[in-house]
Amino acid sequence: MKSLFSMLSFVLLCSVVFSASSMETEHKVDLVKVDKSARKMYLIQGNKIVRWYSISLGANPRGHKLPEGDKRTPEGRYFLDLINEKSSFYRSIRINYPNDTDTKRAAKLGFDPGGQIMIHGQKNGNGPHPSIKRGQDWTDGCIAIDNEKMDEFLSLVRIGTPIDIEW
């Protein structure tokens, strides 16, 4: 009986420790990494990928975003800086594009760099989804994931988290 009690105590202790450690992953993502060429987004904590998502990009995904309207997703190091619960898309979080480098490049080349690049869910409202017309990459330069994945993403990532985007 004593050994059964010890075993049950050990199992209970392990489950409490496991629950506590899994709770620690909430809002502990250190980095979001986007591989545009693979259409994948990874949530990284320390050296470990804790989640990954298949993504859709802008309709012209290859290369760094330059002028507004080019339907490209920017490349480089940015930060997630604002959650928008009243988006035209399910939910969204903004990428701080353009940064100072982007703004200076655009001024030097004489164009508007655009802005409001988001990670977002699916389009709200009735009517056909943009992907029907545009295919896999249907955004105007944003990063799109499924609505359920967007809820999970926002539960794991904080404002200020860096995001590295590359081809």
Catalytic residues: 120, 142
Residue 17: how many CA atoms within 13 Å on its side-chain side?
A: 6
What does the angle CA 108 – CA 37 – CA 133 come to, to the nearest 5 degrees?
90
Which of these, 105, 102, 138, 115, lies nearest to 68 by C-alpha position?
Answer: 115
Q: Answer for the pair 61, 35: CB distance below 8 angstroms, yes or no.
A: no
Torsion angle of the four alpha carbons 20, 155, 148, 163, in this order, in degrees rounded to the nearest 10:
-120
Q: Residue 123 carries which DSSP code?
A: B
Query: Which two structure tokens, joined as six digits, stand for 87?
Result: 């988006």
**Nearest-angstrom CA–CA distance, 77 and 39:** 17
